[in-house]
Amino acid sequence: MQGVSWGEPQSALLAHFGERALVLQHPIDFGDSYTQIVLRDVELGGVPLIAFFQIDKVTGGLKRVQIERQRHGVNSPAFRGVVRALQGEYGAPDAACSIPPTPQNGYQAAAELDWSRGGNLIRAVFRDTTIEAAEGCLGDLTAGPCGLTGQLFVRISPRSDAAACHLPAH
């Protein structure tokens, strides 16, 4: 993501990425931000990912970048490949945490690794749904997931964003 700055407008992102950028006809809402500019050709650790440039709804500037694996390709080997690439670039993570699967979180286990580098927070998150997640499903369980599905993303944001894991002060 070299050459991209926090707070810059979408026009600057389009100028930077040129024809690599895909402009969505309908923005994707992320709550405090939205995405209209996407890169579909991002790779980390040999794993193909999609980058979503989240624009702050208030300022109109770049708030964070979220790089995701398409849901059908989320698995442990993909997460390990992404983490190896991040460790190769940034070294050991500053913090790591996990969430066990429970009924309260839909039986979705999660792991997060956080790096704080150069004023940026880099978060690698892997959420995996256990077999128990089918407990609340009705009907044919062989038809595919009825609830939560796995998720793999890397979120890059200014250090001021909150991390789920406790990061040491810098």
Please enumerate, as own/partner, the contacts of 23-28 that have beta carbons within 8 Å and a separation of 24 or more. Answer: 28/52
pTM given for the model: 0.81
pLDDT tens digits for range 9-36: 999 999 999 999 999 999 999 999 999 9
User: For tokens 């009825």, what's the residue?
Assistant: 146
pLDDT tens digits for range 37-78: 999 989 999 999 999 999 999 999 999 999 999 877 788 888
Nearest to 38 by CA among 13, 5, 12: 13
Token couple for 157:
């944001």
